[in-house]
Structures are given as C-alpha cells and as structure tokens.
Amino acid sequence: MLAYTDFFIAFQVLTAFFVGAILWFSLRAYRLTNMSFLIAFFLGFLLLESSFTFVLINRLVGHTGVLYHGTFWIHEMLQTAAFAFMASAYYFKNKELTNARIATYVIATIIIIAISVIAFLSTPPTLAFAWRTVTSPYFYLVNLTLLSYTVYRVNTTSLSSHKVVRSRALLVPAGFAILALSQIFWIYWGFTDLNDVLVVANAFYVTGLALLAGALLLILRRRPSYAEVH
C-alpha cells in the first residue's frame, strides 16, 4: 500500500479539485439559466465532495482498522447517494421542480450527511469492518447502475443538432461513462483488494470528473447553449 501512497494522495487532491470546479460551474449555470433541475445536479456533487471528506480523514489518520473501514464505509454511502441525486437531476431535466421538491432535496441532503456522520461516530469498529467488506461491491454495483442510467438520460435528452456543439456535449456522457467504468474496477477491487486495480479505478474516476468539469467550462462559455448538454 505504501508504494501507492503518493498516487492516492494525488488522486484525492485532483478529485476534490474537479468536483469543486463542477460545483462552481453548476452554480454559475443555475444563476444564468434558472433551470431548477441543476439544483439536484449541484446537490449530487455536493454530496460527492462531502464523501471525499471521509476519504481525506482516512488518508490522514485512518491507519487503524477502526478509522480505515469506518471512513471508507461512510464515503461509499455518501457517494452512492450523490450518484442517485445526479441521476434524478437528469430524470427531472424536462420537468419543472417545485419549491416543495427542491426543499425535499435540500432536506434529504442534510439528513444523508447527518446520518453518515452519526453512523461513523456510533458504529462499532467490528461491525464497520464486517459490513464494509460485504457491502462495498454492492455499493459500487448500484453506482454503476445509476451512472449507466445517467449516461442514457444525457444521450436521450440532448437538444443539440449543431456538430460543433454536439462534439462538446459528448464530453458529458463520456465523463459519466468513464465514471461508470471506474465502478467496474472498484467492484473487482472489492473482491480482490488488489492495489493495482485500485490505482486504475482512481485514474478512471479522476478522468471522468475532469471531462465533466471541462465540458461545463466549455459550455458556460457559450451561455445560450448551456442546456444542450443536459
């Protein structure tokens, strides 16, 4: 594991950077377009950023069984919730989100984070260890399903017919597809615990986030066409 420490630290820094960039671009996009579905998209990536707070805790102090498995377990819970929010954002793409539904999203976000923190602080170490080793592959399988659905929704809700815009818009489904591919490697890692597989999974994960951040940046520079990637 020590041989990969620098790689994992670099991956976490890049992940936090790209997710932060996506959050910023999503917020700007909402302010420019007032498209309510972007709130769910923003909250999804907010949950994803929150999930990596526990990864950071793991890298800094998670050298014991208690913290190592507890922090990763909560990270996996929050990450799955984040991908569920993103998938729902595309589900509501062509539907107006009411204030009540938006409030429900916000409250759900707060509750999910609160439950994760409480679970982390109160779960016995032995239970965290046992449940994480059993549930991890299934979390990643759910993530794969949610991301696959998101790729499908992005492709079916694209409004653009201009070739230049479509080439840029392709970055969005490509980003989510690569994130889905990373989950396949994480499923394999969950059963094998091979560090080489974990490095590959993280590399695909960061690449997918980079494509999404780049796509949002490019599209924000063409403000009238922002909706074309959603």
Check residue 161 and give its pLDDT: 39
Q: To which residue do tokens 């993530």 refer?
A: 143
Check residue 183 and give its pLDDT: 93
Q: 90 and 154 in contact (C-beta within 8 Å)? A: yes
Check residue 147 and give its pLDDT: 93
The full set of domain ranges for the chain reads: 2-229
- Measured from the Cβ of residue 18, the count of other Cβ atoms closer than 10 Å reads 23
Q: Say which amino acid occupies 155.
A: N
Q: To which residue do tokens 């597809």 refer?
A: 177
User: Which H or E run includes 10?
Assistant: helix 5-33
CA proximity to 86, closest of 30, 31, 25, 40? 40
104 vs 101: CA distance, rounded Å: 5
Q: Per residue in 197-212, pLDDT tens?
A: 888 999 999 999 999 9
Q: Per residue in 113-144, pLDDT tens?
A: 788 777 767 767 677 666 767 778 888 999 99
57 vs 37: CA distance, rounded Å: 31
Fold entry, domain 2-229: Rhopdopsin 7-helix transmembrane proteins (1.20.1070)
Ranges of the chain whose pLDDT falls below 70: 1-5, 62-66, 94-97, 99, 120, 123, 125, 128-130, 132, 157-169, 222-230
Q: 34 and 28 in contact (C-beta within 8 Å)? A: no
Check residue 208 and give its pLDDT: 93
Q: What does the buried/exposed string (b/e) look like for 84-116 if buried means 16 or more CB atoms within 10 Å of the residue's CB?
A: bbbbbbbebbeeebeeeeeeebeebbeebbeeb
